[in-house]
Each structure stands twice: as structure tokens, then as C-alpha cells.
């Protein structure tokens, strides 16, 4: 189902998912915050003849709830509706040990992932309730990492618990909240699994959709 998708995350997965969604006919609203280290993933990074002027790139300040609201309003002003939102957390951008982690890094990571995504989730859920439809997907991906830093592990666990809780709390609303967890470095296979699962609406409130990095052909169905 094509439509308008709000996409953020500041990771290589953002670009890969963007390309797949555009193949399916979606318009993309890409949110980035260079101030907190988001990579400059562009919605027009294809060859000039393939650029899609329907797409929109928005810079937002993750430290600001007003900026999250304005980002969603900007998307609505351009497309009138937003059918889907895809948010991504992929640890690995910070590698210092626990005792070497500065207070500034703590503040940055909390601003980026706890506050920033909290503000944005609030605005997206309010929009979907008002629209009486929508699909929110949150992707937690370690990209084959064996060990996360303590700070990243704490954020990962917080976001996972938050999305499980939101999925249960809003299960009777006319929109769906999906949460995906993956430890694979096989990016294309995971993204195909993600697209297939959301397209088929394989949904259970509170369930984490897991994609494990196994050699088996049956790892798509791990619960």
C-alpha cells in the first residue's frame, strides 16, 4: 500500500528502507537532526533523473517538543496525511567504556533517543488518533553487534519496553504499532521481512517482531 511515510533514525537502515518504500510508491518525509549526530541521509540521493520532487526533507531539533510538532505539521502541510511512520534505533555510534563516558555524551544520547523519540512518538500517535488510521513501526537493530555499551544497552531496553507498552495501551485505537528487533547484519533480508510483515498486517499487541541472524531458512518466524 503506497502513501506518505515519515522516516527517521540517522542510520544506514534509513536509506535502505527509504529506497524500498519508494519502490513501493511511497512519498518519503525524512527527519534528521545534525545537531545530535544524525547522518545526512538524503531523500534525493539517487541519480538526477530518478529524483522524486514529491519527497520532503525536514531538519528537526530532538531536544525540542515544539520542533517535533512542527516537523509533523510540515509533513501534513505538504501531503495532507501521513499514513506510516518508521523510527529506527541502531546503536554503535559510541564505543568508549562506561567509566570513560562523559556527562556530555550522556546528555546527548538521552536527548537524541529518550527525549527526541518520546516527543516525536507523542506527535505521531496524536496524529494517527485524529486521522483514525496509521501505522507506526519502530526498528531496534544491532546490525550484528555482540556487545553494546552500557548506555546503549539501557536505551535499547528502554525503547523496547516503551514500544511494547504503547502497543498494548493503544491496541483498541484505529492504528497499529509494530516493534521490530533484529541482530542481523543481513540488511536486505531484514528489510524484506519488515516490509512483508507490515504489509500483511501480521500484528499482535505487545509482540516484538524478531529477526535473528541465523543460518536457518526458518529464522523469519522466530518469536
Q: What is the pLDDT of residues 181-221, one digit of tens each?
A: 988 778 888 888 888 888 887 778 888 888 866 554 444 44
pTM of the model: 0.85
Its domain, for residue 25, covers: 4-177+184-221
pLDDT at 74: 95
Residue with C-alpha cell 520532487? 53
The domain total for the chain is: 1
CA 23 to chain centre: 18
pLDDT classification of 44: cutoffs 50, 70, 90 = very low
Q: What is the pLDDT of residues 52-95, one digit of tens each?
A: 567 899 999 999 999 999 999 999 999 999 999 999 998 876 66
Q: Residue 72's closest CA among 19, 128, 10?
A: 128
pLDDT at 78: 93
CATH of the domain at 200: 3.40.50.720
Burial, 199: exposed, middle or buried (Cβ in 10 Å; 0-12, 13-18, 19+)?
exposed
Give me the mean pLDDT over the 91-108 stretch: 82
Q: What is the pLDDT of residues 156-171, one digit of tens each?
A: 999 999 999 999 999 9
pLDDT classification of 10: cutoffs 50, 70, 90 = low
Amino acid at each position: 500500500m503506497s502513501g506518505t511515510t515519515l522516516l527517521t533514525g540517522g542510520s544506514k537502515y534509513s536509506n535502505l528502507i527509504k529506497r524500498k518504500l519508494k519502490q513501493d510508491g511511497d512519498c518519503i518525509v525524512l527527519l534528521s537532526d545534525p545537531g545530535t549526530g544524525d547522518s545526512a541521509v538524503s531523500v534525493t540521493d539517487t541519480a538526477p533523473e530518478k529524483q522524486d520532487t514529491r519527497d520532503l526533507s525536514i531538519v528537526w531539533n530532538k531536544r525540542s517538543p515544539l520542533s517535533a510538532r512542527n516537523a509533523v505539521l510540515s509533513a501534513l502541510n505538504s501531503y495532507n496525511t501521513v499514513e506510516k511512520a518508521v523510527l529506527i534505533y541502531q546503536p554503535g555510534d559510541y564505543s568508549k567504556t562506561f567509566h570513560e563516558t562523559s556527562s556530555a555524551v550522556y546528555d546527548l544520547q538521552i536527548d537524541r533517543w529518550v527525549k527526541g523519540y518520546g516527543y516525536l512518538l507523542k506527535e505521531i500517535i496524536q496524529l494517527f488518533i485524529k486521522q483514525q488510521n496509521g501505522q507506526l513501526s519502530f526498528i531496534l537493530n544491532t546490525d550484528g553487534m555482540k556487545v553494546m555499551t552500557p548506555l546503549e544497552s539501557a536505551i535499547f531496553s528502554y525503547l523496547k519496553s516503551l514500544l511494547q507498552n504503547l502497543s498494548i495501551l493503544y491496541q483498541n485505537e484505529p492504528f497499529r504499532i509494530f516493534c521490530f528487533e533484529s541482530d542481523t547484519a543481513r540488511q536486505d533480508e531484514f528489510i524484506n521481512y519488515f516490509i512483508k510483515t507490515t504489509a500483511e498486517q501480521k500484528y499482535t499487541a505487545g509482540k516484538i517482531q524478531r529477526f535473528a541472524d541465523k543460518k536457518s531458512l526458518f529464522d523469519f518466524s522466530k518469536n
